């Protein structure tokens, strides 16, 4: 499978989920923490992260298409894609928090598992882990402020 397939899957999937779950009136009415970045930050950050996620996934697939690291990568991508519908469409910040914590666990597991065999893929996931830590704090803060 080519890198292009992984880029289309991750960036395309992220764009589709993003367009389908754009924040609406409910989200606009929520109290947000003081450290909430402007909405204009999210699309460029996620686009860059999706490129890095795709490259790491492609490298992992080429190394061992059915291995544990590839399974973790796929689970992380699935959790990533289901977070937005749970938060923005179902209006369930608490449930979304559970999803994002599971996503963070998968990202950390992927990094730990990949590091010995493919440090580059592990490093490509490091900014993803950092952003998801921040997103987890945002999610928890929104839940706390509006619960």
Q: Which residues of 19-39 are buried (b: 16+ CB within 10 A; e: fewer)?
A: eebeeeeebeeeeeeeeeeee
Q: Quick check: 91 pLDDT over 90?
A: yes
Q: Quick check: 95 pLDDT over 90?
A: yes
Q: Quick check: 1 pLDDT over 90?
A: no
pLDDT confidence band for 117 (50 / 70 / 90):
very high
Q: Would you state the pLDDT for residue 147?
A: 81
Please name each of the domains of the chain with its CATH number: 3-146 (1.20.1260.100)
pLDDT confidence band for 8 (50 / 70 / 90):
very high
Give the count of alpha carbons within 13 A of 12, CB side only: 6
Query: Which tokens sit at 86?
Result: 């749970």
pLDDT confidence band for 130 (50 / 70 / 90):
very high
pTM: predicted TM-score of the whole model, two decimal places: 0.95
Neighbours of 8 (CB within 10 A): 12
Collect contacts of 129-132 with beta carbons under 8 A, ≥24 apart: 129/104, 131/45, 131/49, 132/100, 132/103, 132/104, 132/107
Q: Would you state the pLDDT for residue 101?
A: 98
Owner of token pair 């389908």: 20
Q: How far apart are CA 19 and CA 35, in angstroms?
A: 24
Per-residue pLDDT tens digits for 35-77: 999 989 999 999 999 999 999 999 999 999 999 999 999 999 9
Terminal CA-to-CA distance of the chain, rounded, Å? 45
In the chain, pLDDT over 90 holds for what percent of residues? 96
- Mean pLDDT of the 14-39 span: 94
The mean predicted confidence, pLDDT, of the chain is: 96
SS3 for 33-96 is: CCCCCCHHHHHHHHHHHHHHHHHHHHHHHHHCCCCHHHHHHHHHHHHHHHHHHHHHHCCCHHHH
């Amino acid at each position: 499978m080519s890198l292009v397939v992984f880029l289309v899957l991750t960036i395309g999937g992220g764009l589709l989920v993003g367009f389908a779950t754009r924040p609406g009136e409910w989200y606009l009415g929520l109290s947000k923490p003081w450290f909430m970045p402007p909405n204009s930050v999210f699309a460029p950050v996620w686009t860059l992260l999706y490129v890095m996620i795709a490259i790491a996934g492609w490298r992992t697939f080429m190394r061992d298409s059915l291995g544990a690291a590839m399974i973790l990568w796929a689970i992380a991508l699935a959790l990533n894609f289901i977070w937005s519908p749970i938060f923005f469409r179902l209006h369930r910040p608490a449930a979304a928090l559970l999803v994002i914590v599971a996503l963070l666990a998968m990202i950390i597991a992927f990094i730990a598992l990949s590091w010995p065999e493919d440090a580059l893929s592990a490093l490509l996931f490091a900014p993803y882990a950092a952003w998801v830590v921040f997103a987890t704090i945002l999610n928890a803060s929104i839940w706390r402020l509006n619960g």
